[in-house]
Chains A and B, each alone.
Chain A
Amino acid sequence: MELQITIFGQLTDITGSSNIRIPAVSNTDELLAALKQQYPALGTAKFVVAVNKKIIQGNTALAANSSIALLPPFSGG
């Protein structure tokens, strides 16, 4: 089982791809720990996590079908 994560903006410079997969974890704290291990530069990058298109506040449970995205600071307009 794997989770699929969509990466946006400058974070794609770190991951090298806009879609990454990691072995399944059960919540966003575990997800962030796993991601930072795999991509150490994420440790100092500014971003928020969106689960099912909502920015999360605090640790959030993940399911296999959760849509997960890493969003760096917005810079539209």
Chain B
Amino acid sequence: MENLQAVDMKERKPKQIFVQGAISPAFIADSIQKHSTRHDIGGHSIFLGQVRADTIEEKPVAAIEYTTYEEMALEKMLEIREAIFSKYDLTCMHVYHSLGKVAAGEICLFVFTSSKHRRMAIDACTELVEKIKFELPVWGKELFEDESYQWKENK
């Protein structure tokens, strides 16, 4: 009984999702590679968020600088993770979000779901991305070349 409780406690612990700076394509490739030993998986779904160089008043966005309320975000992410796992039959789920500066063209969000069949993986990934965008206390500051900035808004 004690052992079971220990396991439960461990699983309830929020998992770190934040990485400093951009998420490298090599990290994403490695993450895919690591799943080759899981022979129960039949489909992966991956969403990659990339920093877009929006032009605002003729100035292109050079980078986005992300900040978070980390303790709250990690607790919220645990809630989201549990909700998604209970709704979809997933083998696994991974989320990585950048903090600090990410240049236009670089990856700032990596969401990865795996399941026996494609539909579960795809639907879970889509819902997960929406929840991350609207429920995680993370803020993006769009930085222009000339050091001016504006705060990003999610649509």
Contact = CB atoms under 8 A, between A and B. Distances in A.
Tell whether A and B belong to one assembly: yes
Interface of A: 6, 8-10, 13, 50, 53, 69, 71-77
Given A9-B67, A71-B69, A77-B109, 19 more contacts: A9-B139, A10-B139, A50-B69, A53-B69, A53-B71, A72-B151, A73-B153, A73-B154, A74-B138, A74-B139, A75-B153, A76-B68, A76-B132, A76-B137, A76-B138, A77-B108, A77-B129, A77-B133, A77-B138
B80 to A, nearest CB: 12
Contact of B136 (A13, A53, A74): A74
B12 to A, nearest CB: 15
Contacts of A6: 69
B50 to A, nearest CB: 10
Nearest to B130: A77
Interface of B: 49, 66-69, 71-72, 75, 97, 108-109, 129, 132-141, 151-154
A52 B23 CA distance: 30
Contacts of A77: 49, 97, 108-109, 129, 132-133, 138, 140, 154
B108 A75 contact: no
A73 B151 CA distance: 10
A75 B97 CA distance: 12
